[in-house]
Amino acid sequence: MILKIIPQNTETLLWNKLYNEYKFTPKIHGQFEWIKIPIENKTYHKDTPWSDEQEHLINSFLEELVSDKMYAFDWQHDCFTFSPKEYIPCDYEYYDTNRKCTVYFPTYYPNGDYHLFFDSDWKYGIFGNPWKKEIIVMGKNLIEKFESNKTNLNIN
């Protein structure tokens, strides 16, 4: 299993890239530009969380496109490496005996905080803002998959 919490030094490097190169600016109120994706991207709006079927569909897109590990970042929470090939169900959690706490893996839909998913080559990503109910998809091939499944994903 590839799923694991990212070591703090790696997490810091990746957050720094998001802050510096992607201009990630987390805010919770007002109309604002919260991230600037430097490659082809498309913004979608979705008022409700993904269903299990929709999460599975999105995961299948990533499984097809991403050859290596991905990162799952949940703002102000644990961040992970994972592989879409090891499909992780919605609401996946486990008890971390070392830290004596429950660890929650984020869903592709942001359910209370920013959720940022991107591959290790920074070619594909899904960036979610829960306050704007916005999903930004990064990478031409991933955008094409979202576009051809707009009805199934209930996005506009």
> pLDDT tens digits for 22-32?
999 998 776 78
Q: How many domains does the chain have?
A: 1
What pLDDT was estimated at residue 90? 84
Q: What is the domain extent for residue 94?
A: 4-24+39-153
**Residue 44 Cα distances to 8, 17, 37, 119, 137, angstroms:** 31, 23, 14, 20, 8
Query: How do residues 61-120 score in pLDDT, each as one tens digit?
Result: 999 999 889 999 999 899 999 999 988 888 899 999 999 999 999 999 998 899 999 999
Q: Would residue 31 count as lying in a domain?
A: no
Instruction: Report angle CA 94, 13, 41 to the nearest 5 degrees.
Output: 85
Q: Would residue 32 count as lying in a domain?
A: no
Q: Would residue 29 count as lying in a domain?
A: no
What pLDDT was estimated at residue 65? 98
The pLDDT of residue 47 is above 70: yes
What pLDDT was estimated at residue 1? 63
Other CB atoms within 10 Å distance of the CB of residue 112 = 12
Q: Would residue 33 count as lying in a domain?
A: no
Cβ neighbors of 101 (< 8 A, separation 6 or more) are 95
What pLDDT was estimated at residue 112? 86
Q: Would residue 9 count as lying in a domain?
A: yes
What pLDDT was estimated at residue 16? 97
Identify the residue whose tokens are 């799952």.
72
Q: Would residue 43 count as lying in a domain?
A: yes
